[in-house]
Amino acid sequence: MNELIIGHISEFPERTGRVVRLGEIELALFKLTDGTVKAIENLCPHKNGKLSEGIVCDHHVYCPLHDWKINLHDGLVQAPDEGCVTTYSTIVDGAGNVILLVQDGANERKVS
């Protein structure tokens, strides 16, 4: 597992999406009201809406295109819709750095 620092917690406004690129993958990151940061693939499985532009409520983001509700903990689309987006693990260290945890082999990719 590789750890990539992607910013400081102070750079993440609450409930507002932030886009981070990991190689070819675009991620949407959200700081929740409890201070945790969640990272998911930035494409709704319905019509590829940019989830980073969605509205966050509790631990869900609503796709800006068709209001699909996606759980930020596990990436599952809520019924009656169905589907899933990939989630990525994050931690906030003692210095306030937001760290994205990626599988081995992903270290050849650049975060921007």
Q: In this structure, what are the phi and psi dihedrals at residue 110, rounded to the nearest 5 degrees?
A: -110, 140
Class of domain 2-105: mainly beta
Mean pLDDT of 42-49: 94
| 97: β partners | 8
**Averaged pLDDT, 22-40:** 94
pLDDT interval class at 110 (50, 70, 90): very low
pLDDT score recorded for residue 104:
66
**Mean pLDDT to the nearest integer, 87-101:** 96
Alpha carbon 18 to its chain centroid, in Å, reads: 8
Please give the pLDDT value at position 108.
Answer: 38
pTM for the whole thing?
Answer: 0.87
- Sorted by where each begins, the domain ranges of the chain are 2-105
Mark 70-109 as b/e (b = at least 16 C-beta within 10 Å): bbbeebbbeeebeeebebbebebeeeeebbbebeeebeee
Q: How confident is the model at residue 109 (pLDDT cuts 50, 70, 90)?
A: very low
- Average pLDDT of the segment spanning 49-73: 96
Sign of CA dihedral 109, 24, 36, 52: positive
pLDDT reported for residue 105: 52
Residue 111 pLDDT > 60:
no
Which residue shows structure tokens 């899933």?
84
